[in-house]
Every structure is written in structure tokens, then in C-alpha cells.
Amino acid sequence: MEIYQLRAFVTVAKLGHLTRAAEVLHVTQPAVTAQIKALEEELGLTLFDRRPGRITLTKAGELMLADAEQVLAAAGSLLGKAMELKGKVTGSLVIGTVGDPDSLRLGSLLNSLVRTLPLLDIKTRHGHAEELRDLVAAEALQGAFYIGPNIPREVLGVPLQTIQYRIAGPFGFRPRLLHAGWREIAGMPWIGAPAQHHAQTLLKDMFARQGLTPNTVLESDEAASPHSLVRSGVGLALLREDIAVPASERDEVVIWPHTRVAALLSFIYPKTAEHDPAVIATLSQLRTIWGVSH
């Protein structure tokens, strides 16, 4: 039994897709299939139910998954200890980022890491919160900033800051917006975001709690600033409070006063990376920069 076989098993189990798992592991799909087949033959168990278009864990696979994750975590701990004894941290560190860099204090983090870990090859990858969560869970990223209601269960994380969001609409909507209830708010035109974007998750959850669905007329990514679109009169959007309130004071937008939506900014990392020296160093620098306790 090889570590790479267990890693292939865990990655496919978490992603539920052979092609995506192969991309994450940087190997071909036939290689992933062969690794899992070899593991199944050695264990004498069928770990996956393979059907056209999908692959799911069998009951035996479900029971083996937690043990496989523990073995990978133990292997990571052993490697981390060896690197500590050698007195240096080498290799690569890939960090996922979400939102704008300044709000993450990304520059301060990268500056500290470059100074303290000169032998480490550091890279950043920008993405949407939920896709970054999937990549961290599958160990394709050693860590990522994440915005959501809480830290996802499939990863570990350090909470950094609570972010408040407000419902903001074009200033011309002011008379009807200020007197609207939830149903009227949902029926107004809304600016949405891609499905895996944190703003879309918060938006859907907010209205789901009211038993409503927003009238989304436009899906906007980061490039087309939601603040700019609201200001231009396109529709309503969830805006960070630190953006919405000053814009409201300038009469650029109007804020619906009856709710605030809280989200957690955190730094997440794989459960198997708890003892990884690069991750440990990153968490140490993050806690110092953000002033959070261990």
C-alpha cells in the first residue's frame, strides 16, 4: 500500500469525480484509476461504485475513508517533523485568495513569509470561496482565505474577522426600498454572483431563511464591481458594510435598514496539513498579523 494510492482514494472520494481528482493530483485520469484499482486489489475491497457519469463510495469505501485520512495525516506529521529536525522549510506553498487583497492583509502575510521562509516557493491563486474550499479539502491548496457563514467541516481553519454585509440599492429606489418588507425586497431586481462566490451563498441563505428567492436579473463577477452596478441603477446587491455605509453617506446608494448579514473571514487548510511546517509557519504569521490567539 502506497501513500499516493491513499491520496488518490481520498481525493476522488471528496471530489466525486475522476477527472477533477486527476487535475488536483497533477496526474492523468488513467493513473488515478490504476492507483485506486491497485489499492482495492490489495485491500480486497471495492471502494467505489462506478457508473456512467459518476463515481460514489461504496459502504466499504465510506468506512475506510476516515482511516485513510488518518494515515495521510500521520504521514504529513512525520514529514513535517523531519523537516523541522533539518531546520529548514522547503518545497511549495500555494495559497488561495478570495475578495480583494487589502481586506485579507495579503501583502503583509506574503512579505512575512518571504522573509521568514526564503527557501519556500510561494504562490497565490485567486478563486471563489466554495471552489477554494473544495481545493483545500482535496489538498490541492495548502491553505486559502475563505468567506462563509462558518469554517467548513471538511477542513481546519483559523477565524480572522467577522464581516458585516448590508442590502444596498440604487439611490433612486430610496422611497420604495425604505418602506419595503422581505417579500417586496425579494421581488426587486437583484445583482447576483457565480454560484461558488461567497456573496451568492450569503444571498441565497439570507432569503432561504425567509422562504423566498431573490429576483436575480444579472450575475456579476468580481471584475464588474457590485457597488458600481448598484450605483448605476441596475439593482440591489449585498455589499460589505465598510463599502455600503460610506456610499450611502455620499447618496450613491440606499441601505435597507432592517437587516445585517454576518460572514466569517477565515484561513482554512487541509486536515492532513496540521503538522506541515509551511502551514504551521503560515498560521503563525497570520495570527500575528491579525492579532488572533492560538
Least confident piece of the model among 76-90, 223-237, 247-261, 276-290: 76-90
Position 217 pLDDT exceeds 50: yes
pLDDT value of residue 82: 58
Q: Where are the CATH 3.40.190.290 domain residues in the chain?
A: 88-294
Q: Which amino acid is residue 150, in one-letter code?
A: N
pLDDT value of residue 85: 41
CB atoms within 10 A of CB 291: 8
Nearest C-alpha neighbor of 161 from the set 248, 7, 291: 291
Q: Assign domain 3-84 to its CATH architecture.
A: Orthogonal Bundle (1.10)
What is the pTM assigned to this prediction? 0.70
pLDDT value of residue 277: 83
Domain covering 88-294 in this structure, CATH number:
3.40.190.290
**CA 10 to CA 68: how far, in whole Å?**
7
Helix, strand, coil share (%) of the chain residues, nearest 5: 50, 25, 25
Chain centre to alpha carbon of residue 224: 21
Q: Where are the CATH 1.10.10.10 domain residues in the chain?
A: 3-84
The three-class DSSP label of residue 145 is strand
Write the CB contacts of 168 (distance below 8 Å, at least 6 apart in sequence).
Answer: 227, 230, 236, 237, 238, 239, 244, 247, 248, 253, 254, 255, 256
User: pLDDT-derived band of residue 251, with 50, 70 and 90 as boundaries?
Assistant: very high
